[in-house]
Amino acid sequence: MGGPEIPTRFGRLDAHHASDGVSSADGRLPDGDKDANHIRGIFGPKGFEDRDMVALSGAHTVGMCHGDRSGFEGPWTDDKLLFDNSYFKDLLQKPWTKETNRHGKPQYRSGETMMLTTDMALVEDPAFKQHVERYAADQKSWFDDFAKAWVRLQEFNSGELRDIL
Ligand code: HEM
């Protein structure tokens, strides 16, 4: 998809059986209709700083929201299969209009593309915004920060990982 190379280590074990699963437990995943404080409340306790939170949110440069899943709807960027820094450029440059979508969810629209309230928080909060501006101007700086933050997210709380399957 055009993104950075990311080293991946194997052997992460969060659960022995499906019944041990915690994937839908409250508070593990952020809600798309909340503000900057919520983003910090979710990622801060896991050791992430503002810069990491902005870098990770840039993953929304690929993929899309689905009305039948989250209730939010649409792709963030014009090419949802391309991993580039257009998410950050679009946040700064496109005109965004708040709307309530047909599933009753609040989101922002510009043409066929959308942003969540948490995405917009990255330009509304001055401390977050300086990182958005840097990543919009310098894709390599984002790729470097994203790769590092992704590895930390992937390996959070797990030890004894190995380089091969
Ligand atoms: C503030 C933090 C975040 C919020 C509120 C959030 C919220 C969401 C929501 C609501 C969706 C749409 C789900 C659906 O309807 O199918 C989504 C999709 C997605 N998120 Fe996030 N997310 C956050 C952070 C992240 C992070 C840290 C990553 C990865 C580093 C990420 C990667 C993705 C991707 C790739 C999709 C598209 C999935 C698809 O195309 O099916 N998001 N996110």
Closest ligand 1 atom to residue 149 Cα is 30
CA of 138 to the centre of ligand 1 (A): 23
End-to-end CA distance of the chain: 23
Q: What is the dihedral of CA 9, 15, 17, 22, to 10 degrees?
A: -120
How confident is the model over 111-121, as pLDDT tens digits?
999 999 999 99
Give the per-residue pLDDT at 108: 98
Give the per-residue pLDDT at 23: 63
CATH class of 35-155: mainly alpha
The residue ranges of the chain whose pLDDT is under 50 are none
Domain ranges of the chain: 35-155
The β-bridge partners of 10 are: 162
Give the per-residue pLDDT at 160: 86
Residue having the nearest C-alpha atom to atom 12 of ligand 1:
65
Contact status, residue 52 vs residue 145, Cβ threshold 8 Å: yes
Q: Is 124 exposed, middle or buried (0-12, 13-18, 19+ CB in 10 A)?
A: exposed
